[in-house]
Amino acid sequence: MTEYEAFMAMQYFLEQFYERTGSDDVGALLGDMLFLESGETMDPAAWEDWIIAVKKAKSEQ
């Protein structure tokens, strides 16, 4: 699975959680994670944080 595919899987997971709970915090996070036409996320830090998390997860295996 690519980093992008994993990011999208996380987004789908969070969308399901948001639909069940209506959590404002999760809703805000999902907004930050949306991709713009430029290929960047609404909040560029969301993608950068994701890449850091992926690297950390890979290093712990």
Q: How many CA atoms lie within 13 A of 11 on its CB side?
A: 17
**Rg (alpha carbons) of the chain, rounded to whole number:** 12
Amino acid at 36: L
Residue 7 clears pLDDT 90, i.e. is over it: yes
pLDDT of residue 15: 97
User: Model confidence over 27-48: pLDDT tens digits?
Assistant: 999 999 999 999 999 999 999 9
Q: Where are the domains of the chain?
A: 3-59
pLDDT of residue 61: 78
Mean pLDDT of 14-19: 98
Provide the mean pLDDT of the chain: 95
